[in-house]
A and B are shown apart, each in its own frame.
Chain A
Amino acid sequence: MLIQFVNPLNSSALAFPILECIHIVGFALSIGTIAIVDFRLLDIGLRRQTPAQLAKDTAVWTMVGLGIMLLSGMALYSSDPDMYYLNYAFLGKMLFLILAILFNYTVHRKVVAAGASPGKTKLVACISILLWMGVVFGGIFIGFLNPTLDLKKV
C-alpha cells in the first residue's frame, strides 16, 4: 500500500537551498570544532591548552553542530530518498559519517583525554581528519555522480 504524502519541503523552491546553507553552517561548527582538537593533537593552533581541555570546552558546540548537520541532512534526504539511496556517493558518505562519529566518540576521545605516544596521537588526528574529509567528499559527489538530480524539482 502506498501512502500518499507530499513532502512540504518539495513544495517550495527555496526550502532545499536554505537547508543546504544550514547544513554547511552545521558541519562547519561540528567538524570545525573536532578539527580544532585534531590540529591541537598535531601541535597546530591552540597549543597553550591541552587537547583534553580543548575537547571539553568545544564538546557542547560539536554536539550543537552535529545536531544541526544531522537534522538538516535528514530533511535534505527526505526530499528525494530514492535518489539518495541509489547514489554511491551518498552511501559512501553515510559509511564515512558513521565511522567518523564512532571514531570521534571512542578512540579519538580516549586519546584526547588520556594522551598517547606522539606517533599514535598524530595518527589518530590524521584518521579523524581523513574520515571527516570523506564525509564532505561524499556530499559533493552526490550531485556529480547523479546529474539526473533535478534541483528545479525541489
Chain B
Amino acid sequence: MLLSFAQFIQSTAFFTELRGSGYVYPVILSLHMVTIALFGGMILMTDMRLLGLAMRSYPVSDVIDQFRTPKRIGFVVMVALGLLMACCKAEEYYYNDWFRLKMALLAVVALHALIFRRRVYNRAAELDGMSSLPAGAKLAAGISLVLWIGIACAGRGIGYIEPPLDKIHAQFFEVPTASPQGAVTTAYRH
C-alpha cells in the first residue's frame, strides 16, 4: 500500500521533472539545511534554557513563548522542503533504513508534543519564578535535544545508502556514478 503510493507520487509529472532537474534538487536540499541553520538554534536554545545551560537570566516563558511562532514557521518550511525531496525519491526512500528512522523519530516528536506541551510548554509562566526547574521540564528538554539531533543525523544517513537499483522504477533516476564532466548524472529507467 505504502509502496504503491510512493511509486505513484514519484511518477507524477511534477516530481519526475523535479527529480531530473539537475540543480533544482540541491537548491531545495540547501534550503532544507538553511532552515536547520536558522531555526535549529531556537530549538537548541529553548532546550538548553530549560536545562539551565543557556540564557539563564531570561524568564523561561520569554524564551518558550517568543520562539514559538518563528519555530513553527521554520518547521513548516523545513517539512515542505523535506517533502519535496522525499516525494522525488519516494520509492528509493521506502527502502532506506535511515529515512525510516528519521520518520520514526519525527513521529516521536509528535508524541513528545502530545505529552509535554500541556505539562511544560503551555505552562511556561509557572516556571519563571522557580530557582530550579522541575524534573519534568528538564526531561522534556533533554528528550527534545536528543530527538532533534537524532533527526538531523538520520537525515545525513539517508544519503549514504545505495538505492536498490533493481527495485526502483523512477524515470530520471540519479545514478551515483562518477561523471568526468562534473555534472549530476541522470539515467532513464523504466
Residues of A within 8 A of B67 (CB): 45-46
Q: How far is the CA of A144 from the CA of B180 in the complex (A)?
A: 13
Residues of A within 8 A of B63 (CB): 46
Partner of A29, one of B27, B41, B180, B182: B41
Residues of A within 8 A of B178 (CB): 147-148, 150
Whether the Cβ atoms of B37 and A36 lie closer than 8 Å is no
B51 to A: closest C-beta gap in Å: 13
Residue of A whose beta carbon sits closest to that of B63? A46
A96 at the interface (CB under 8 A from B): no
B2 at the interface (CB under 8 A from A): no
B71-111 interface bits toward A, Cβ cutoff 8 Å, 1 = contact, 0 = none: 00000000000000000000000000000000000000000
A99 to B: closest C-beta gap in Å: 16
Interface of B is mostly: helix
Q: How large is the interface on B (under 10, 10 to 19, 20 to 34, 35 or more residues)?
A: 35 or more
User: Looking at the complex, which of B13-21, B54-62, B113-121 is the stretch in contact with chain A?
Assistant: B54-62
A133 at the interface (CB under 8 A from B): yes
Q: How far is the CA of A85 from the CA of B10 in the complex (A)?
A: 36
Whether the Cβ atoms of A133 and B152 lie closer than 8 Å is no
Residue of B whose beta carbon sits closest to that of A148? B178
B185 at the interface (CB under 8 A from A): yes
Whether the Cβ atoms of A28 and B185 lie closer than 8 Å is no
A115 at the interface (CB under 8 A from B): no
A residues lining the B interface (CB < 8 Å): 17, 20-21, 24-25, 27-29, 31-36, 39, 44-49, 57-58, 61, 129, 132-133, 136-137, 139-141, 143-148, 150-151
27 A-B contact pairs sorted by A residue (CB < 8 Å) = A24-B36, A27-B36, A28-B36, A29-B40, A32-B39, A32-B41, A32-B44, A45-B66, A47-B66, A57-B55, A58-B45, A58-B54, A132-B37, A132-B38, A133-B37, A136-B33, A137-B30, A140-B29, A140-B30, A141-B30, A144-B23, A147-B176, A147-B177, A147-B178, A148-B182, A151-B159, A151-B160
